[in-house]
């Protein structure tokens, strides 16, 4: 069994050797990543996860129901937000509170603020595993989290950890986008794979889609190949962003796939909606604020 999460930590690095042709776009990307860092912890939205697992029947059975057979789609709806952890105060992590599983209610809305309060006092890896294990308790054999804030890899202090290069132009819906590649060259590995009691750190590479002419980030992709013994496992993800009413882009859709020995074993599709800003009080009491007027 594998569980996967991102660990977006950065150390101080030397100046990035970014090609002049895309340096301006990378600066714009850093601005948007910084805006996300400031605003995302103040919003709570809804996440709808559709998970398709191939292969043998899941080892974890749903609570109070029949076992799901291989290849079936499970749907989990959660309250969704971002928070920091006590020993990792400079980085954001996803937090979620499961509301429904395949249409059956698990918990009432409004509980996420309690999770946010607890999240700032615990060990990051333990909290990530706890959230992943909650998914497993509802019948998911594999789970992937912490892709929504992948944009934070490209804050100003993080960019020197990557090599960037221009690739091509394509359309993202009706928007024309400049696409650049990125590849992590140094610094802490950005992805964490939990496998039993082992924790594996993986460096990352992929593409960044930036809207013309203003450089707004529209999409980030991830493509990671992990080799162990005679097995190759490829992790791929596509993270789409959309401008919110609160002055920053927020995740709109994430597609994650895991391919082992040439066969797809899991696909997770995350849909995000209904983001609202809560009051910045000490008890994280939820209140709906008016969006920032532009």
Question: What is the extent of the structural domain holding 37?
Answer: 2-274
CA-to-CA separations, 165 to 98, 139, 149, 207, 257, in angstroms, rounded: 39, 41, 22, 9, 25
Phi and psi at 150, nearest 5°, equal -60, -20
pLDDT on residue 269: 94
Q: Is residue 282 part of a domain?
A: no
- Is residue 293, in this structure, part of any structural domain at all? no
Residue 205 resides in a domain: yes
Q: Where are the beta strands (DSSP E) in the chain?
A: 2-6, 43-53, 73-85, 88-101, 104-105, 143-145, 162-172, 175-184, 191-195, 198-202, 205-211, 217-228, 231-243, 249-260, 263-277
CB 32 within 8 A of CB 151: yes
Q: Is residue 280 part of a domain?
A: no
- How far apart CA 77 and CA 104 sit, in angstroms, is 10
> How many Cβ atoms are within 10 Å of 125's Cβ, its own excluded?
16
Report residues of the chain scoring pLDDT below 70. Answer: 1-19, 21, 55-71, 85-90, 111, 113-133, 135-136, 139-144, 187-201, 279-294
At residue 185, the pLDDT reads 85
The per-residue pLDDT for 4 is 54
d(CA 93, CA 82): 5
174 within domain boundaries: yes
- Does some domain include residue 289? no
Return the pLDDT at 213. Answer: 87
User: Is the residue at 36 inside a domain?
Assistant: yes
Rg (CA), the chain: 19
**What total of structural domains would you count in the chain?**
1
109 domain-assigned: yes
């Amino acid at each position: 069994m594998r569980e996967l999460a991102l660990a977006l930590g950065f150390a101080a690095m030397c100046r990035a050797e970014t090609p002049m042709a895309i340096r301006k776009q990378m600066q714009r990307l850093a601005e948007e990543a910084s805006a996300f860092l400031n605003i995302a912890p103040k919003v709570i939205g809804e996440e709808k996860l559709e998970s398709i697992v191939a292969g043998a029947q899941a080892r974890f059975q749903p609570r109070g129901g029949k076992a799901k057979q291989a290849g079936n789609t499970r749907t989990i709806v959660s309250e969704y937000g971002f928070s920091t952890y006590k020993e990792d105060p400079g980085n954001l992590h996803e937090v979620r509170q499961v509301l429904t599983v395949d249409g059956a209610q698990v918990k009432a809305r409004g509980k996420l603020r309690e999770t946010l309060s607890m999240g700032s006092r615990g060990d990051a890896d333990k909290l990530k595993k706890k959230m992943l294990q909650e998914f497993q308790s509802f019948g998911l054999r594999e789970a992937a989290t912490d892709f929504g804030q992948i944009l934070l890899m490209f804050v100003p202090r993080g960019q020197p950890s990557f090599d960037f290069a221009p690739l091509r132009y394509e359309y993202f819906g009706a928007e024309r986008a400049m696409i650049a590649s990125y590849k992590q060259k140094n610094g802490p590995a950005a992805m964490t794979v939990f496998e039993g009691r082992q924790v594996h750190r993986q460096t990352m590479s992929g593409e960044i889609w930036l809207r013309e002419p203003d450089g707004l980030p529209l999409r980030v992709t991830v493509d990671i190949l992990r080799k162990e013994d005679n097995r190759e496992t490829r992790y791929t993800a596509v993270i789409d962003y959309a401008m919110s009413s609160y002055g920053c882009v927020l995740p709109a859709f994430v597609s994650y796939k895991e391919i082992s020995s040439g066969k797809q074993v899991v696909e997770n599709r995350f849909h995000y909606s209904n983001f609202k800003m809560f009051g910045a009080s000490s008890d994280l009491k939820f209140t709906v604020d008016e969006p920032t007027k532009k």
